[in-house]
Amino acid sequence: MTKVLIADDEKHVREAIKLLADWEGHGITAILEAGDGQTAVELIMAESPQIVLTDMRMPRMDGTKLLEWIKSNRPAVKTIVISGYDDFELVRHAIRSGGLDYILKPVDPDALNEALGKAVEAIRLETLQDSLSAQKNIELNRMKPHYADKLLSDLISGHGSKEELAGQLMAEFGLPENIGSCYAAVISTAQLDQDLLDKFQHMRQLLYFTLTNICNEVLLSGQKGIAFHHLGNPEEVVLLIWDDTMPLQATLAEIRSGIDLTLHRQIHMGAGSRQPFPAGVSGSYQQAHHALWQRNAGELTGWLHVGTPQPQKPLRLATHEESFRMAALSGSMEQIGSAVDSWMEEVRRLGTVTPAELEQWNAEWDWMLKQWMDRSSDPSSPGPDKDALLELPRSLPMDLQGKISYPLWKDQYEGRLTAASRILTQQHSRENHIIHDIARYLEHHYAEDISLQDMAARFFLSREYISRRFKQEFGVNISDFLAGVRIEKAKLLLLNPQLRISQVAEMVGYQDEKYFSKVFKKQEGRTPNEYRKEQTSR
């Protein structure tokens, strides 16, 4: 059960927050209220809420003191500041005290719900972390993770004396003194699918912690080896395995099974050859890294990759630049699709497509788009549309098994060209502007469960860009616009006496009749039932 405490000396502000937040959507089941900081402290001690929304100016104990108390006494509590003061010192104090967000009054529903979403997700991930930590080997708990990661990263990168680094690891972290040789293996989070990366978007360190912890549950039991976060290449988790009583593939298969059980992903690993320890560790790591990035991502021929295949003649995205640019300038979805299909067909003829090539092509896309934008830029305009284009996703088009998803890849490329087309052809009229496309979509799909993230994915724009431009164009945020559309539809449906209020609510996209009534009353000044009676009496 997730509890929230709202601390604000103004009752109408507390009521507004209660109305604007999507409590049910965030899984929040209890809402507590306090009119000052001291009362808030008493409620925190008695009720243990996981999230606190606080004003900064309150009687008895203000928000700054409350945040300090929470940081010292209840550090696990997630705090969100809601204040009427746009004051740098207050913002800095909130950040220093561990605040997740600083929202200005009047409260914007999107900002409020986004902050609550971050807090709830942070709580969920910390719960996962606590669960994993409880099972962690006692020896690993004694280690100083970041320092160990630094020493091990230096060891595989060739920084410093290998013998001295190995000596420190043995003396300070209990590595065996009789390691004669070892293998290196590599896991890369850059080769995971976008859905999983999105789940850890604001807590990427937790993803590395989860992966290393699962690996070390296998390796540290019986002193088989050790896993660590490669600080020199932050997207990697590296494993050093010196145990020679069990085949390397069997050890890695056990680790892979644990990752699949926890994260529901079937990851790929690269492995190097057994080399002398510590002198050959760097060489084995380089072999493992290259094997993982040079694997054939177009076919699932196995999950453990060793050796580096003979490199094929590189295919450059730049050879298709003119075709892509002309398709974008045409503004035709048919031409855009055809240009992308032509590229995909040439890629398929390669037979082998590696993650390294996918990453290289992404880099070429960035360069091409920047060149196009520079050529078409208007010096008098800051170009927010250009910013939005450069904010497009950069993830590799992988499915849950680590194989290329050609449909996803095609969507990514068509999305880039479609976004570029809008800018290059200067289609900014009221009828054609992308923000009006979004508004029309909302008007036709008002009964569906629509989020800002859904809009970002559908129209290939960032959530921040959509939120900013939508408000500039229509004067309201997306959630208020959608609520307005829904209420207008509801008013028509309420004219039918055969429909119950709960049915009307569901037909316009609200599963909760009480919440629907609140929104309706907020916009129309009367409840749906009162509105119906008023209309039928005429």
Q: What is the CATH number of the domain that holds 67?
A: 3.40.50.2300
pLDDT tops 70 at residue 24: yes
The CATH code of the domain that includes 525 is: 1.10.10.60
pLDDT tops 90 at residue 136: no
Please write the tens of the pLDDT for every residue from 437-472.
889 899 999 888 888 888 887 877 778 878 888 888
pLDDT tops 90 at residue 175: no
What value does the mean pLDDT take over residues 337-356?
Answer: 92
* pLDDT value for 379: 44
Is there a single domain that holds both residue 192 and residue 283?
yes
Contacts of 144 (CB under 8 A, 6+ apart): 172, 173
Is there a single domain that holds both residue 56 and residue 146?
no
* pLDDT value for 458: 80
Q: Considering only CA atoms, which of 430, 423, 421 is closest in space to residue 383?
A: 423
Residue 443 falls inside a structural domain: yes
Is there a single domain that holds both residue 380 and residue 500?
no
Task: Please state, for a pLDDT cut of 70, what percent of the chain lies above it.
Answer: 91
CA distance 166 to 332: 60
Is there a single domain that holds both residue 293 and residue 184?
yes
What value does the mean pLDDT take over residues 516-522?
Answer: 90
Mean pLDDT of the chain: 85
* pLDDT value for 318: 86
pLDDT band at 89 (very low <50, low <70, confident <90, very high): confident
Is there a single domain that holds both residue 424 and residue 439?
no
What value does the mean pLDDT take over residues 252-279?
Answer: 94
- Write the Ramachandran bin of 304: left for phi over 0, alpha for psi from -120 to 50, otherwise beta: beta
What residue has token string 């008007």? 443
Is there a single domain that holds both residue 204 and residue 83?
no
CA distance 417 to 426: 14
pLDDT tops 60 at residue 143: no
* pLDDT value for 2: 85
* pLDDT value for 169: 85
Q: Which of 243, 271, 306 lies at the terminal end of a domain, its last residue?
A: 306
What value does the mean pLDDT take over residues 319-337?
Answer: 88
CA distance 229 to 472: 43
Give the range of the structural domain holding residue 296, as residue numbers without chain letter.
Answer: 136-306
Q: Is the pLDDT higher at 386 or at 360?
A: 360
Q: Considering only CA atoms, which of 273, 245, 242, 271 is closest in space to residue 180?
A: 242
Is there a single domain that holds both residue 470 and residue 486?
yes
Residue 467 falls inside a structural domain: yes
Residue 206 falls inside a structural domain: yes
What value does the mean pLDDT take over residues 474-484?
Answer: 90
Q: Whats the size of the chain, residue-wise?
A: 538
Residue 419 falls inside a structural domain: yes
Is there a single domain that holds both residue 84 and residue 153?
no
* pLDDT value for 240: 95
Task: Please state, for a pLDDT cut of 90, what percent of the chain lies above it.
Answer: 37
CA distance 43 to 529: 37
CA distances from 189 to 182, 201, 372 (A): 23, 12, 31
pLDDT band at 385 (very low <50, low <70, confident <90, very high): low
CA distances from 351 to 89, 117, 306 (A): 58, 43, 19
Residue 465 falls inside a structural domain: yes
Helix spans in 428-500 (H): 434-444, 452-459, 463-474, 478-493
pLDDT band at 339 (very low <50, low <70, confident <90, very high): very high
Q: Which of 383, 408, 428 lies at the terminal end of a domain, its last residue?
A: 428
Residue 475 falls inside a structural domain: yes
Helix spans in 136-247 (H): 138-141, 145-157, 162-173, 194-199, 204-219
Q: For the chain, how many structural domains are there in total?
A: 4
Residue 391 falls inside a structural domain: yes
Is there a single domain that holds both residue 453 and residue 527?
yes
Q: Is the pLDDT higher at 5 or at 82?
A: 5
What value does the mean pLDDT take over residues 112-136?
Answer: 80
Q: Which of 385, 402, 428 lies at the terminal end of a domain, its last residue?
A: 428
Is there a single domain that holds both residue 171 and residue 299?
yes
pLDDT band at 45 (very low <50, low <70, confident <90, very high): very high
pTM of the model: 0.54
* pLDDT value for 254: 94
Q: 463 in helix, strand or coil?
A: helix
Q: 29 in helix, strand or coil?
A: strand
* pLDDT value for 430: 40
CA distance 502 to 514: 9
pLDDT band at 384 (very low <50, low <70, confident <90, very high): very low
Q: Which amino acid is at 20?
A: L
* pLDDT value for 338: 93
What value does the mean pLDDT take over residues 258-279?
Answer: 94
The CATH code of the domain that includes 167 is: 3.30.70.270
What value does the mean pLDDT take over residues 154-178?
Answer: 85
* pLDDT value for 139: 46
* pLDDT value for 429: 45
Residue 287 falls inside a structural domain: yes
Please work out, in degrees rounded to the nearest 5, the angle formed at the alpha carbon of residue 507 by the alpha carbons of 503 and 508: 125
What residue has token string 């164009």? 473
Is there a single domain that holds both residue 402 and residue 474?
no
Is there a single domain that holds both residue 288 and residue 233?
yes
